A = this chain, B = another copy of it.
Amino acid sequence: MPPTEDARTYAPSRPRGPYAKSAVTRQRIIEAATAVFSVHGYLAGSTTEIAERAGLSGAQVFYYFPDKTAILQAVLANRDRIADEIAGPIPENAAEIPEAILRIARNNESAPGFIRLYSILVAEASSPEHPGKEYFRDRYRRLRMRFDSVFAAMEKQGLLAPGVDSTYAATSTLAIWDGLQLQWLLEPEAVNVASQLGRHLGLITRSA
Interface residues of A (CB under 8 A from B): 38-41, 43-44, 116, 119-120, 122-129, 133, 136-137, 140-141, 144, 161, 163-164, 168, 171-172, 174-180, 182-183, 185-187, 190-191, 196, 199-200, 202-204
Contact = CB atoms under 8 A, between A and B. Distances in A.
Contact of A126 (B129, B163, B182): B182
Contacts of A127: 38-41, 116, 120
Contacts of A204: 203
A203 B137 CA distance: 28
A19 to B, nearest CB: 36
Contacts of A44: 43-44
28 contacts: A39-B127, A39-B128, A41-B43, A41-B124, A43-B44, A44-B44, A119-B123, A119-B126, A122-B186, A125-B186, A126-B182, A140-B190, A141-B190, A144-B190, A161-B203, A163-B199, A163-B203, A171-B183, A172-B196, A172-B199, A174-B179, A174-B183, A175-B180, A176-B176, A176-B179, A176-B200, A178-B178, A178-B182
Given A123-B120, A141-B190, A39 B129 contact: yes
Contact of A140 (B125, B186, B202): B186
Contacts of A191: 171
Contacts of A176: 172, 175-176, 179, 200
A59 to B, nearest CB: 26
Contact of A178 (B129, B136, B179, B200): B179
A72 to B, nearest CB: 15
Given A187-B140, A199-B172, A203-B164, A116 B120 contact: no
